Amino acid sequence: MEKTLVILKPCTVQRGLMGEIINRFERKGLRLAGMKMVWLSDETLSEHYAHLKEKSFFQRVKDAMRTCPVVICCWEGLEAIRVVREMAGKTNGRNAAPGTIRGDYSMSVQENIVHASDSPETAEIELKRFFDESEIYDYPLNNLWSFYANDEI
Ligand code: TYD
């Protein structure tokens, strides 16, 4: 099973959408392996958004991410990284397809509800960045047969 990182951004916290977004991942059939609220630092965000450091909006995006605490989640499932990324939708909420999280809840490129890891390599690095090993729980789902066929898992 794959694990992936999701951050519920400050806009999601402020708009009272945390429960709704978490509910989407639960309903999809992903297992919540870890979750916490964190007030991120500029230093951590510089690392997290290092791929954007040459962009004009780098500082703006980092500042927006530390206007209030965020909720950091680790979701697990078969091909969870791709599945969650597709559930998030295109970066710009105005271009994201209806039915995706950003497509349903966002009108903005920056205030776009969630961050989701974009590849297995990124997911591994990001999970280590935001979680201690002891904060990720490997409890079994007692009814896994309701989520997957025997030969899928
Ligand atoms: P990026 O990693 O390109 O997108 P994604 O979150 O879909 O993986 O960008 C990170 C965040 O930076 C993005 O969620 C919102 C913000 N951003 C802007 O504000 N303006 C932009 O033009 C882009 C590309 C991103």
User: pLDDT digits over 51-85, tens only?
Assistant: 999 999 999 999 999 999 999 999 999 999 999 99
Quickly count: other Cβ atoms within 10 Å of residue 146's Cβ: 8
Q: Which residues does ligand 1 sit against, CB inside 6 Å?
A: 52, 57, 61, 91, 109-110, 112, 115, 118
pLDDT band at 10 (very low <50, low <70, confident <90, very high): very high
Backbone angles phi, psi at 30, to 5 degrees: -85, 150
Single pTM value for the model: 0.97
Give 4's strand partners. 75
Helix, strand and coil in the chain, % to nearest 5: 45, 20, 35
- What is the rounded distance in angstroms from the CA atom of residue 88 to the CA atom of residue 80? 12
Ligand 1 midpoint to CA 151 (Å):
37
Q: Find tokens 């009108």 and name the residue.
A: 107
Q: Pairing mode, if any, of strands 70-77 and 2-8?
A: antiparallel
Among protein residues, the one whose CA lies closest to atom 17 of ligand 1: 110
